[in-house]
Amino acid sequence: MDTIWEGLKEAINLIITFNSDLREILLLSLGVSGMAISIAVVLGIPTGVFLGLRRFPGRNFFITLVNTGMGLPPVVVGLVVFLLLARSGPLGNLNLLYTPSAMIIAQVIIALPVVMGVTMAGVQNIDEKLRLQILALGASRWQYFCKILKEGRLVVLSSLAAGFGSIISEVGAVIMVGGNIKGQTRVLTTAIVLETRQGNFSLAIALGIILLLIALILNFLFTFLQQRRPR
């Protein structure tokens, strides 16, 4: 109990003082995960809508890949990205290993199937009569896509929340490709692992509480937007 209490006091102290180390770790965490989910949303939502609405040869195969990707172990993603970006790998000349860019790539791979899968499932549940009505009114492909997104905006928010939640608390992949370098690639999750290994449980608990607060605040915002009803 003493350790937990000390961790709580340390968390409060860190939040109040907002020292430079915490600020650096927090900003990097939000920056990496924010960029990753932005890329995943830009790529995943149109792809999810396409898979949800269109019928084409091989569609079931692609859906199977998406569903498999939703449960892909992060450490496997980290291993694949590491092998690709290592000096002996095919992308080694880019020198991205142990940089925030490598962490973003890993997190995009983790979040992308989640965004696509949730979007696809939601779009499929939109009333088919509504879809046919939109087309019957002469909507262009772009207008049709925008209308579907508008009707499924709650699904889009759900995919965003699910995708972000899958990466903000992820540690396996980012520590493999980022290396947990202080001032460069150390984020909240990897800092928690480091402090725990070093026996600095109070600081580890403090960082964990801050991570939980971030997840709580962001998910509260997502929930508020989802449950808000138009006047």
- Please check whether residue 181 lies inside any domain of the structure: yes
pLDDT for residue 85: 95
Number of domains, the chain: 1
Residues 6+ apart with CB under 8 A from 16: none
Per-residue pLDDT tens over the stretch 133-169 = 776 777 777 777 777 777 777 788 888 888 998 899 8
- Please check whether residue 55 lies inside any domain of the structure: yes
Q: Give me 132's structure tokens.
A: 């046919």
Domain containing residue 167: 28-186
Coil, helix or strand for 171?
coil
- Please check whether residue 121 lies inside any domain of the structure: yes
Coil, helix or strand for 183?
coil
| Average pLDDT, integer, range 192-218 | 84
| Average pLDDT, integer, range 180-199 | 89
Report residue 213's pLDDT band, with 50, 70 and 90 as the boundaries: confident
Instruction: Decide: 189 and 171 in contact? Cβ < 8 Å.
Output: yes
Report residue 229's pLDDT band, with 50, 70 and 90 as the boundaries: low
- Please check whether residue 168 lies inside any domain of the structure: yes
Transcribe 183-194 into DSSP letters. TTT--HHHHHHH
pTM: 0.87
Per-residue pLDDT tens over the stretch 29-63 = 999 999 999 999 999 998 998 888 888 898 899 99
Give the CATH number for residue 110.
1.10.3720.10
| Average pLDDT, integer, range 68-77 | 91
- Please check whether residue 216 lies inside any domain of the structure: no
- Please check whether residue 6 lies inside any domain of the structure: no
d(CA 107, CA 116): 14
Percentage of residues in the chain with pLDDT exceeding 70?
A: 96
d(CA 38, CA 32): 10
Q: Give me 209's structure tokens.
A: 């509480």
pLDDT for residue 230: 53
| Sign of the alpha-carbon dihedral angle for 123, 127, 128, 132 | negative
C-alpha 154: how far from chain center:
17
- Please check whether residue 69 lies inside any domain of the structure: yes
d(CA 76, CA 125): 32
Whether 99 shows a pLDDT value over 90: the answer reads: yes
d(CA 205, CA 211): 10
- Please check whether residue 195 lies inside any domain of the structure: no
